[in-house]
């Protein structure tokens, strides 16, 4: 999750005052949009109507351009000096990756600690647990009669053809007698 960073003097900034309250609110909504969607300060024309409930949001965008808070570009606008106050897409993604890696590592360490605690509680060793697990898997396979690998259940059987089904349950075309 990203956050919008605004200076506490933002409402009194001369550019904001010159643009007007509705344009300033559009500016704040656009910053939030850019942070949420990791656009690096780009506001596409298609998003403008969702960011403002004004009848003419392009007029408000024009006011922001006039006071140099936004810059016109192909397909929309760029928020002026966006990266001075907001994180870049690359920075956000790198931070997310660091957090993800830390959570994965913490989960692995927690799993190891849990296994050690269970073994201590049960009085068993890792080697004994591995041998017991292998024996249980082998006996279960033998009991189920699974000597070889079963076919992939997500793949359709190449030998089954519903139009040639001898039971007649899946015949969709019908017989000549059914059509009369």
| Helix or strand (DSSP H, E) at 42 | strand 42-44
pLDDT at 153: 57
pTM of the model: 0.60
- CA 84, distance to chain mean position in Å, is 27
Averaged pLDDT score across all residues of the chain: 81
Tokens 């082998």: give the residue: 138
pLDDT at 151 > cutoff 90: no
Distance CA 41, CA 87 (A): 10
CA 175 remoteness from chain centre: 51
Determine the Cα–Cα distance for residues 50 and 36; give it in Å rounded to an integer: 14
Q: Which phi-psi region, left, alpha or beta, contains residue 145 (left: φ > 0; alpha: ψ -120 to 50)?
A: left
pLDDT in tens, 5-29: 999 999 999 999 999 999 999 999 9
- 128: pLDDT strictly greater than 90: no
Candidate ranges 67-76, 127-136, 160-169; pick with highest mean pLDDT:
67-76
The residue-averaged pLDDT of 91-104 equals 88
Mean pLDDT computed over 67-86 = 96
What is the pLDDT at residue 176?
A: 52
Nearest to 67 by CA among 36, 37, 26, 32: 26
Confidence band for 148, pLDDT divided at 50, 70 and 90: low
């Amino acid at each position: 999750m990203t956050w919008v960073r605004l200076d506490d003097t933002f409402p009194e900034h001369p550019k904001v005052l010159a643009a007007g309250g509705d344009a300033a609110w559009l500016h704040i909504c656009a910053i939030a949009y850019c942070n949420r969607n990791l656009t690096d300060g780009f506001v596409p024309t298609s998003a403008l109507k969702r960011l403002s409930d004004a009848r003419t949001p392009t007029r408000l965008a024009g006011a922001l351009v006039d006071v140099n808070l936004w810059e016109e570009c192909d397909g929309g606008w760029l928020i002026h000096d966006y990266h001075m106050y907001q994180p870049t897409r690359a920075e956000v993604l790198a931070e997310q990756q660091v957090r993800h890696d830390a959570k994965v590592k913490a989960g692995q360490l927690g799993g190891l600690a849990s296994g050690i605690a269970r073994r201590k509680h049960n009085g068993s060793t890792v080697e004994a647990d591995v041998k017991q697990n292998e024996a249980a898997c082998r006996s279960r396979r033998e009991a189920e009669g699974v000597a070889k690998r079963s076919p992939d259940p997500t793949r359709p059987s190449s030998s089954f053809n519903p139009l040639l089904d001898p039971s007649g349950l899946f015949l969709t075309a019908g017989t000549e007698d059914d059509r009369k």
